[in-house]
């Protein structure tokens, strides 16, 4: 294992400390228990937005703390959900009295820990709502799985719900638009290589030189199936097709197309994927009205990408365009 | 003779040692079907339990388990933190403030722990989770308590043995809950790490009563 680290057990501590130093103008970092809050939190009269999850997906979630997006982020150990004793103080810190929404990716651990924290916050008098993100079409949503995972769609939920909270929407309205984004977004990912969790010291799975893994999540877990390597256009079609059919996209739809890097894939390759996906959507008469291309929800140094498509309506588009000023996403502000 | 505070403290100390000794093994089990964090999280959690017990010594077995529950919940994260946290909390409630635990109370505590895990995790038998170690352990403990003359050691031993067999029984199962469920049939042939850590913890309970 070759990594730019000092001690495998200090990876999250030291990284979050550095993040706080780098972005002291935007965020305040608390070390024990560990959480990150918007510097001017709580914002008077505004609904608070808190998300979190295992570390290793940077810039998610800490990178999205700031004006127009999250009020707090709670980082767990690498690929391990945070604990209620972190989530609770983060929740209390951003409650202005207008209530707090938890944005939770659908993984057993995240759901259990955020549920517990929400109960505790409620007991302290905070009005709570939660938005569960489960956009991964690689997982069959059935009684026989833990349900679809939250992946790329999480970034879009955080941005759009964040903009709704920033413009002064009520607690129920912010949660409702978050749910609406989740219902309108689907994702699918591919890995060319596995990633290595620092404290595990070895890759999570092994792919031969000519193999790729289709339907991966963001925790270094293997995907649904393994196939021989293909070219970028072929892989794009494999990822896009289930997303489009699951969303039931039709000619005339407006979408946001988000090509996300898993951490180890160059931006140039992401644009090759984007090119094909945009062409394919255009051929179906779907208008790509907004785009996002880059490493926004990663899996450490994994090579690969995911394709996320969000069916837009006018309100979502306006909220996407609204000003945002965070360490990892900034426009109009 | 029942089980007392010394047994509880010894159990938790041996559990901590087992998590440290088996850290790598649990990480390796979690690697192919999970996210390689179970051994690390359990080791970190039980090290915190050891520190907490030294810092604020409990006065009853129930209090020791309650402190364990609170510490695991705040230190472990993932799914294992809330699940083991709930298990120890429910067991602590079942023990109440008794200074000595007899066989019937022990069985009630094991059952409460298992029921708590099922309620929180919503997994049932055959889903390839820690429930597949807990449920046979509870059944075996119940049978042993009825068959023996209330010998708590026999109850503990039966529970540990059944949990170990239960962990092995997860090998051919297809995961239907937790992160391994994303793999579908590719989860077959791997042992569930949570079932293995359950067996280790119940085996430590036997060692503590020796």
Structure ipTM: 0.74
- Peptide bond before residue A321 is cis, with ω within 30 degrees of 0: no
pLDDT of residue B131: 97
Q: At what angle do helices B5-21 and B193-209 cross, to 10 degrees?
A: 140
The shortest CB-CB distance from B79 to any of A78, A82, A112 is to A112
- What separation, in Å, do the N-terminal and C-terminal C-alpha atoms of chain B show? 12
The pLDDT of A212-217, averaged and rounded, is 90
Q: Which CATH superfamily is domain A185-312 in?
A: Dihydroxyacetone kinase; domain 2 (3.30.1180.20)
Phi, psi of B135 (to 5 degrees): -65, -50
pLDDT of residue B126: 94
pLDDT band at B76 (very low <50, low <70, confident <90, very high): confident
Q: Measured between CA atoms, how close is A137 to chain B, in angstroms?
A: 11
pLDDT band at A200 (very low <50, low <70, confident <90, very high): confident
The pLDDT of B56-80, averaged and rounded, is 92
For the segment B131-157, what is each residue's pLDDT rounded down to a tens digit? 999 999 999 999 999 998 889 999 999
Which of B28, B29, B36 should be substituted to probe chain A, the one whose Cβ sees the most A Cβ atoms within 10 Å? B36
Which one, of B44, B43, B65, lies nearest residue B113 by Cα? B65
What does the alpha-carbon distance between residue B40 and residue B37 come to, in Å, rounded to a whole number?
5
Q: Reply yes or no on whether the pLDDT at A142 is more than 80.
A: no
CB contact under 8 A, A108 and B31: no
The shortest CB-CB distance from A112 to any of B41, B82, B179 is to B82
What does the alpha-carbon distance between residue A241 and residue B102 come to, in Å, rounded to a whole number?
61
Other CB atoms within 10 Å distance of the CB of residue A332: 9
Residue B178 near residue B123 (C-beta atoms within 8 A): yes
Which one, of A271, A282, A319, A320, lies nearest residue A168 by Cα? A319
Q: Measured between CA atoms, how close is B11 to chain A, in angstroms?
A: 25
For the segment A271-295, what is each residue's pLDDT rounded down to a tens digit? 999 999 999 999 999 999 999 999 9
How is residue B73 written in tokens?
Answer: 């919940």
CB contact under 8 A, A221 and B183: yes
B44: Cβ–Cβ under 8 A, 6 or more apart, which residues? A77, B75, B76
Interface of B with A (CB under 8 A): 27, 31-37, 40-41, 44, 73-83, 120-121, 174, 176-179, 181-184, 186
Q: Looking at chain A, which residue has its C-alpha nearest residue B71? A: A85
pLDDT of residue A328: 98
pLDDT of residue A263: 97
Q: Which CATH superfamily is domain A10-183 in?
A: Dihydroxyacetone kinase; domain 1 (3.40.50.10440)
What does the alpha-carbon distance between residue A37 and residue A73 come to, in Å, rounded to a whole number?
7
The pLDDT of A216-230, averaged and rounded, is 83
CB contact under 8 A, B80 and A83: no
pLDDT of residue A220: 72
Which one, of B210, B208, B152, lies nearest residue B8 by Cα? B208
The pLDDT of A308-312, averaged and rounded, is 98
Q: Reply yes or no on whether the pLDDT at A16 is more than 90.
A: yes
Q: Looking at chain B, which residue has its C-alpha nearest residue A223? A: B183
For the segment B35-48, what is each residue's pLDDT rounded down to a tens digit? 788 999 999 999 99
Is A219 among the residues known to form the active site?
yes
Q: Point out which residues pair with A290 in neighbouring strands.
A: A256
Looking at every residue in chain B, the average pLDDT score rounds to: 94
Task: Answer whether A10-183 and A185-312 agree in fold.
Answer: no
The pLDDT of A74-87, averaged and rounded, is 94
Q: CB burial class (10 A; 0-12, 13-18, 19+) of residue B55?
A: exposed
Looking at every residue in chain A, the average pLDDT score rounds to: 95
pLDDT of residue A223: 72
Say which residue the tokens 């055959």 belong to. B126
pLDDT of residue B188: 92
Q: Reply yes or no on whether the pLDDT at B104 is more than 80.
A: yes
Q: Reply yes or no on whether the pLDDT at A222 is more than 80.
A: no
Query: How many beta-carbon pairs below 8 A join chains A and B?
Result: 116
What does the alpha-carbon distance between residue B28 and residue B36 come to, in Å, rounded to a whole number?
7
Q: Reply yes or no on whether the pLDDT at A147 is more than 70.
A: yes
Domains in chain A: boundaries? 10-183, 185-312
Q: Looking at chain A, which residue has its C-alpha nearest residue B39? A: A200
Least confident stretch, A3-17, A23-37, A158-172, B20-34: B20-34
């Amino acid at each position: 294992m070759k990594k730019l680290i000092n001690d495998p057990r200090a990876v999250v501590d030291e990284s979050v400390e550095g993040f706080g130093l780098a972005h002291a103008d935007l965020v305040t970092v608390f070390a024990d228990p560990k959480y990150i809050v918007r510097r001017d939190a709580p914002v008077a009269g505004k609904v608070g937005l808190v998300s979190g999850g295992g570390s290793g997906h940077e810039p998610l979630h800490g990178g999205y703390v700031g004006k127009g997006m999250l009020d707090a982020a709670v980082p767990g150990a690498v690929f391990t959900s945070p604990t209620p004793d972190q989530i609770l103080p983060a929740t209390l810190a951003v409650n202005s009295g207008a209530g707090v929404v938890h944005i939770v990716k659908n993984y057993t651990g995240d759901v259990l820990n955020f549920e517990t924290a929400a109960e505790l916050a409620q007991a302290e008098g905070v009005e709570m709502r939660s938005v569960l993100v489960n956009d991964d079409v690689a997982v069959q949503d059935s009684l026989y799985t833990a349900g679809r995972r939250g992946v790329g769609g999480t970034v879009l939920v955080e941005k759009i719900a964040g903009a709704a909270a920033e413009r002064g929407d009520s607690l129920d309205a912010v949660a409702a638009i978050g749910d609406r984004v989740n219902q309108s977004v689907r994702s699918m990912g591919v890995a060319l290589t596995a990633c290595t969790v620092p404290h595990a010291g070895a890759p999570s799975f092994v792919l031969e030189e000519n193999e790729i893994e289709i339907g991966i999540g963001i925790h270094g877990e293997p995907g649904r199936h393994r196939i021989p390597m293909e070219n970028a256009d072929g892989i794009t079609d494999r990822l896009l097709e289930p997303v489009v059919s699951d969303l039931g996209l039709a000619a005339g739809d407006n979408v946001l197309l988000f090509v996300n890097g898993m951490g180890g894939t160059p931006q140039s390759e992401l644009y090759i994927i984007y090119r094909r996906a945009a062409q394919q959507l255009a051929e179906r008469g779907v208008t790509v009205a907004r785009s996002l291309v880059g490493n926004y929800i990663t899996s450490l140094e994994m090579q690969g990408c995911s394709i996320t498509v969000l069916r837009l309506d006018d309100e979502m588009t306006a909220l996407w365009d609204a000003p945002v000023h965070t360490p990892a996403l900034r426009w109009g502000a | 003779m029942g089980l007392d505070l010394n047994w509880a403290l010894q159990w938790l100390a041996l559990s901590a040692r087992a998590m440290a000794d088996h850290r790598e093994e649990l990480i390796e089990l979690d690697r192919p079907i999970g996210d390689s964090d179970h051994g690390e999280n359990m080791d970190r959690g039980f090290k915190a339990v050891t520190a907490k017990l030294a810092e604020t010594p409990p006065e009853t077995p129930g209090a020791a388990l309650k402190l364990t529950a609170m510490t695991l919940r705040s230190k472990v994260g993932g799914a294992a933190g809330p699940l083991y946290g709930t298990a120890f909390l429910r067991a602590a409630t079942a023990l109440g403030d008794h200074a000595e635990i007899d066989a019937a109370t022990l069985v009630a505590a094991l059952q409460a722990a298992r029921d708590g895990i099922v309620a929180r995790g919503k997994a049932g038998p055959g889903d390839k989770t820690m429930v597949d170690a807990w449920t046979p352990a509870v059944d075996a403990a119940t049978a042993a308590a009825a068959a023996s003359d209330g010998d708590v050691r026999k109850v503990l031993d039966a529970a540990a043995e059944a949990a170990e067999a239960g962990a092995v029984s997860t090998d051919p199962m297809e995961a239907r809950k937790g992160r391994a469920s994303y793999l579908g049939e590719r989860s077959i042939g791997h042992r569930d790490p949570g079932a293995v850590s359950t067996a280790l913890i119940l085996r430590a309970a036997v060692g503590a009563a020796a």
